[in-house]
Amino acid sequence: MITIYIFATILFIVIILILEISNMNTPNIAKEDVLNAFQYRHATKEFDATKTISDENMTFILKTANLSPSSFGFEPWHFIVVQDIELRELLKPVAWGAPLKLDTASHFVLGLSMKAPMTKWDSDYIMHMMKNVKQFPEDVIEMYSKFYREFQERDFSLDTDKKLFDWASKQAYIALGNMMTSAALIGIDSCPIEGFHQEKVEALLQEKFEVDTEKYGLSYMVAFGYRKAEPPHVKSRRNFDEIITWK
Ligand SMILES: Cc1cc2nc3c(=O)[nH]c(=O)nc-3n(C[C@H](O)[C@H](O)[C@H](O)COP(=O)(O)O)c2cc1C
């Protein structure tokens, strides 16, 4: 009798633990809170320069870039967080959309995407990803590699360096969206920035930021901080029905 009782108790505890673990892994954030964060987020033109994002919060934001999805899971991106005032100054003349943000943002991030020597199907980087990061066995590497080659050459015709860079950029923009959304969810403002001269910034990155621009190009900049004032305009968007078609 006692054995049955002990067994039932252990079973009960195990079931509760399983339920708790599965509960822990299933997000249950209120939809209103998420939509509120999307409403709250706006392209912040000027930040309150006296306010700094804590290391913990900035790490949280960057982790959502790290956890972002990417084609074949190859993560063709790198992020430089520019906190050095002198480096920020150097960016101003080549980034017309950024000066006020460079002056006032708590954190200023450069979103780099990989170029052809990194992302082409037979590159060392792709092999490193399959072998060391994903830890695929040899036969899986062979299969995956063949599939990835066909995708690049046949399905998406990624046959120029420019096309390969733009394809990597598309993925880096997913990380951008995730960073801005996760920031908004914890009350942090942001501004995405494409207002820069790509060639000039890349020359600067090569010269002053120790970036190998054979391997990486700049897709975007993004500033994070706390708004100096409320947005000057009410958020405007096309009608929901205009952008969605149900079939
Ligand atoms: C890819 C991208 C590039 C952008 N570049 C700039 C920029 O250089 N400077 C700027 O002030 N805003 C920039 N914006 C912000 C947009 O102007 C803004 O997101 C848009 O007008 C919608 O307003 P909202 O984000 O406040 O809702 C950019 C937005 C995106 C998505």
pTM: 0.91
Using the mean position of ligand 1's atoms as its centre, give its distance from the Cα of residue 193 in Å. Answer: 6
C-alpha distances (whole Å) from 244 to each of 36, 216, 238, 247 are 21, 35, 11, 10
Atom 13 of ligand 1, nearest CA residue: 193
Print pLDDT tens along the chain (247 aa): 556 655 555 555 555 555 555 557 899 999 999 999 999 999 999 999 999 999 999 999 999 999 999 999 999 999 999 999 999 999 999 999 999 999 999 999 999 999 999 999 999 999 999 999 999 999 999 999 999 999 999 999 999 999 999 999 999 999 999 999 999 999 999 999 999 999 999 999 999 999 999 999 999 999 999 999 999 999 999 999 999 999 9
| Alpha carbon distances (Å) from 56 to 44, 81, 84 | 21, 14, 19
Ligand 1 centroid–CA 228 distance in Å is 17
Ligand 1 atom nearest to 96, measured from its CA: 8
Q: How far apart are CA 202 and CA 222, in angstroms?
A: 16
Cα-to-centroid distance, 234 and ligand 1 (Å): 15
Convert the pLDDT of each residue in 94-132 to its tens digit: 999 999 999 999 999 999 999 999 999 999 999 999 999
How confident is the model over 145-171, as pLDDT tens digits? Answer: 999 999 999 999 999 999 999 999 999
> What are the domain boundaries of the chain?
41-229
Which residue matches tokens 């992020």? 79
The Cβ of residue 213 has, within 10 Å, a number of other Cβ atoms equal to 18
3 state SS of 122: coil
- List ligand 1's pocket residues with C-beta within 6 A: 42-43, 45, 97, 191-195, 220, 235
Pick 41-229's CATH classification: 3.40.50.2300, 3.40.109.10, 3.90.105.10, 3.60.20.10: 3.40.109.10
Query: In this structure, are residues 104 and 230 in contact, taking their beta carbons and an 8 Å threshold?
Result: no
